[in-house]
Amino acid sequence: MPDQSIVLSVVCPFFNEEEVVDFFMEKIHQVLNTLDLTYEIVCVNDGSLDRTLEKLILAKKSYPNLRILDFSRNFGKEAALTAGLDHARGKVIVPIDADLQDPPELIIDFIEKWREGYEVVVGKRVDRSTDGLLKRMTAQLYYRFHNKISNQKIPENVGDFRLITRRVVEAIQQMPENQRFMKGIFAWVGFNTCVVAYKRQKRRAGKTSFHGWGLWNFALDGITSFSTVPLRVWLYIGSLIALISLVYGSYIILRTLVFGVDLPGYASLLVSILFLGGVQLMGIGVLGEYLGRIYLETKHRPQYIVDKEY
């Protein structure tokens, strides 16, 4: 529930971030103390296997406005972010990662834009030189591909780092889906939005928990959450193959009538069977991806379980 005495809630998911906890706490408080408003920091420990929770509890002794949500296990960043939004009590909420690649100083600019009347202030990474070349290229391709096939566009190079008002949070809470893609959800709810550009920094300490396979699955979640084009495209692929088969079949009939019957080619027949089998399996795979999402949603399981709150 919102607390009228708290203006700003900073929400930060943690997963195996013991090396960065002290740096994050020092930096975020240094920035927030320059603001003339009351604030809280909601840290969500997403089932960390290292000393992250221990260090967060220790930090709470020095920073009494720190709140810690400890999950019963690892539920993933999207669930951790959702929990942070659900438990935040401020009038405005700023999600931020613990690695300090998104500069906390930008929160000052976010607050200024909010005071100008904006309900959503997003941080856009105009310089991602600290990320690897492969990561930058794949991210750019993903944003372009997603926005081509989805009715809901996601701003390019915009992550979870943003300011949103209580009204936006309440709109997000009306969305009941369990399998959540927060970047798409943030964009879907809309509201009066402005952009603040910034340069992405190097990770302050520790290592990222996102790697190639995890990012690929994350991208699939984003595509299947906000687009049915991957399903529809198989109608066109099937129609095209049927048309090609009709044309080729007409050619064979015509050739047979004119030149007679010749020995059929077993190699071409084998290639055709394998090709069509592969296409069918791909179509079933795409259908299975959507069916799996429906299956998980029908269970109505909670998005997360909070074991303890400190």
Q: What is the pLDDT of residue 45?
A: 92
Write the single-letter amino acid at 170: E
Asked whether 47 and 13 are in contact (CB, 8 A), the reply is no
User: Are 207 and 288 part of one and the same domain?
Assistant: no
- Give the CATH number for residue 61: 3.90.550.10
Distance (Å, whole) CA 80 – CA 95: 11
User: Are 166 and 273 part of one and the same domain?
Assistant: no
User: Are 24 and 133 part of one and the same domain?
Assistant: yes
Poorest-confidence range of 103-112, 265-274, 289-298? 265-274
Q: The domain containing residue 262 runs over which residues?
A: 229-298
pLDDT reading at 299 higher than 60? yes
pLDDT reading at 124 higher than 70? yes
Cβ-based neighbour number of residue 58 at 10 Å? 13
Number of domains comprising the chain = 2
- The residue out of 198, 226, 254 marking a domain boundary is 226
Cβ-based neighbour number of residue 152 at 10 Å? 14
**pLDDT range class, residue 224, cuts 50, 70, 90:** low
Q: Burial level of 80, CB count in 10 A (0-12/13-18/19+)?
A: buried
User: Are 132 and 267 part of one and the same domain?
Assistant: no
Residue 196 lies in a domain: yes
Distance (Å, whole) CA 182 – CA 163: 14
Cβ-based neighbour number of residue 66 at 10 Å? 20
Asked whether 127 and 43 are in contact (CB, 8 A), the reply is no
Distance (Å, whole) CA 173 – CA 9: 16
pLDDT reading at 293 higher than 80? no
Q: What is the pLDDT of residue 42?
A: 92
* Tokens linked to 206: 């520790």
State the pTM of this model.
0.71
